[in-house]
Amino acid sequence: MVERTLAKSLGVGQATVREALQVLEHEGLIFKKANTASFVTQLTAERVREIVGIRVELEPKAFALAHRRMTPADFEELQSLVSRIEEGASKNDYYEASSADFAFHQKVWSISGNKTLERILSQLCTPLFASLMVTLSTSHLPVKDDMKSHQVLVEALAGPDEEKAIQAARNHVNNSYSRYPLPEVEAEELRT
C-alpha cells in the first residue's frame, strides 16, 4: 500500500492516510518497509506459535486480576458479548462472532485494571484475531461449537475460585486455535 496511491483512490489527503497506516502499524496489522510501502502482516506458523505462547502466559494474569475486580455491570457486559458471539456463530457470521470475541477479551483485559497488560495483550492479539477472522471467512468452517468456551470463561470469572478463572483462560487460549487452518499451523504445533 503506497500512501500517495491510497490517498488518491480514497479522495483524502496523504496525511490522513499516513495517520491511518500508523494506527494499523501500531496494532500490528501492517508493517512498513523504509522508502517503499506498507504491507499487510502475514502470520507465519512460527509467528502464531510465538503469539499464542506469550498470550497463554499473559492472559491468565489478566483473568486473575479481572476476577478480583468484577462488578455486576462487568458480568452483564461480558454476558452480552457472549450472546453476540453465539448469535454471530449461529449464523456463521464470521465478522460478528470474531469482533464480539475480540471485544470480550478486550473487556476482560480492561477490567483487570492493569493498563500495561491491557495494551500488550491488545497489540499482541490484534493481528491474531484478524487472521483468525479472515481464515474463518475464507474456509467457511462452522464456528458454533467453538464459541461456547466463552460462557465457561464468564462462569469462571463469576465463581469464587480465582485459580479456576486462571485455568479457564489458559485452556481457552490453548484450545482456541487447534481447529482452524491458520497459516502452516498444525494443532499440535500450538500446544508445544
| 19, 53: one domain | no
| 35, 49: one domain | no
pTM equals 0.76
What 3-state DSSP class applies to 70?
coil
User: Residue 84 to residues 8, 55, 80: CA-CA distances in angstroms?
Assistant: 37, 23, 6
| 89, 119: one domain | yes
Which sign does the torsion angle of CA 60, 65, 69, 73 carry?
negative
Ramachandran region of residue 180, left (φ > 0), alpha (ψ -120 to 50) or beta?
beta
| 20, 107: one domain | no
Q: Residue 114 sits in which domain range? A: 45-190
Q: What is the mean pLDDT of the chain?
A: 82
| 60, 19: one domain | no
* pLDDT given at position 189: 42
Cell 512498513 sits on residue: 32
Cell 491488545 sits on residue: 122
What 3-state DSSP class applies to 38?
strand
| 34, 50: one domain | no
| 141, 60: one domain | yes
| 33, 55: one domain | no
Average pLDDT over residues 59-88: 96
Give the residue among 123, 120, 131, 127 at the shortest CA–CA distance from 58.
120
Query: How many domains does one find in the chain?
Result: 2
What band does 188 get if pLDDT is binned at 50, 70 and 90? very low
| CA–CA gap between residue 138 and residue 122 (Å, rounded) | 24
Question: Which amino acid is located at 88 in the chain?
Answer: G
| CA–CA gap between residue 88 and residue 109 (Å, rounded) | 22
| 123, 102: one domain | yes
| 27, 102: one domain | no
| 26, 101: one domain | no
